[in-house]
Structure 1
Amino acid sequence: MKNILFWLYVVLSVLLIGFGYIYWQSTVSARQTSQTDMKTITFKDKALQDIYRQNKEMNITVLSTPYQVSDDDQSLVQMLRDQYPALRIKEQMIKTASDKIDVDKIKDTEPDIVLLDALTLNDFTEKIPAEAHNKQLAQIIDDLTSDHIEVRTIGTRPSTDQAFKRYQIEEEDYFKDSKTYYAQSKKWPKAELADSYDSQTELLTARGLDSWYSHITDYLFKK
């Protein structure tokens, strides 16, 4: 009987030591992963980097549109989440014109930064005049920054539609002196534009989604 109890004690001791080692190893691994994420994410913008360094995290709310989704249901936000898991990324999908946006709902997400799609395609599709679009977009930005929320506005991708081109140029001219507005339209190769989105649905192709993701991450992060 004593021998059985002895060996039972030995087996339990070995199991406890083994489980303890596994737990310690997983904890160390998680800490190392977290530290690696902190080291590898560097924002180009000093204001954003200071927030990230001070808080040890970053809450990002992305105001996206259906036009940032590809024809096979992949999205810009999901790509950002996959590639930057250390960032806390929330999404608000905007399917309406810019004047229908409830800024308080954006603030309720408690963001450190709002990545705001310029909503150019939304307003153009809804036949909002360019001047009204620009003023409404500026008002949204002002409402957010007045609450000390960092806002980075991302101009949309270019189009082969001439009327939309003029609309987009007016927007880019309106915000040309803004330090937080990023115009990506001229960065898309003209030769690839027709293959970057579906002109009927305006949805991105896989190539277009990759291009949009590349331009935004080049704007935000040091690599």
Structure 2
Amino acid sequence: MAIWKLKSTKVIGTVSMVLSTTILHVIGVRNGSDNKTILAGSATESIIQTIFSSDEKTSKLGIKALEELIEENETIRQSLMRTGFIQKVQLLLQNSLQLSSSSSSTTQAESTPPYHVKCGILDIIHKLIATVDDLQPMSILIPILNEMKNNGEKEIKKKSFNILAILSAKEINAPSSESTQDKDLQIQQLELLLLETLYYPIIKS
């Protein structure tokens, strides 16, 4: 069993590497920045989904692959900032805190993102804010990051604090308050988007 898991992990790692290389190649031969951004969003979908795997090793391989893409390619960075990834992260983390604070149940335990997934998502966000110039889209994460900084697990608190410190230094503030109706509509739209792209519930390995 241990040997099978080791081989499986190596295969997943190889697949992630091939996907990363293919994504960079395909983006590189396309013309038009807007087309490249949209294409990058679609191309990175498979890697992003592995981050949400309940298997920690698989998730970490996805995180590593995406971090390398973020570091190497401007189009990937812009795609993650502009094509809904930040909004999906916001909803995922919000749901995580809501489920954690409510009474426990088997259903909630199964729906709550694993600890390694939350850590991985925060690592991706940290990598983005370290490499992207326009951080304004990140402003929607500030309220949830503040809550995680105060009420999250030890490592989650640390990662949230570091991200908030960088955003503060860049003078990125939380968005102004909206009406309750607008907030409800936005949440409904985000939930639909998240379900359609298979980010939630967590992918079972």
TM-score interval, smaller chain = 0.3 to 0.5
Radius of gyration: which is bigger?
Answer: 1
Which has the larger share of helix? 2
TM-score (norm 2): 0.33
Which has the larger share of strand? 1
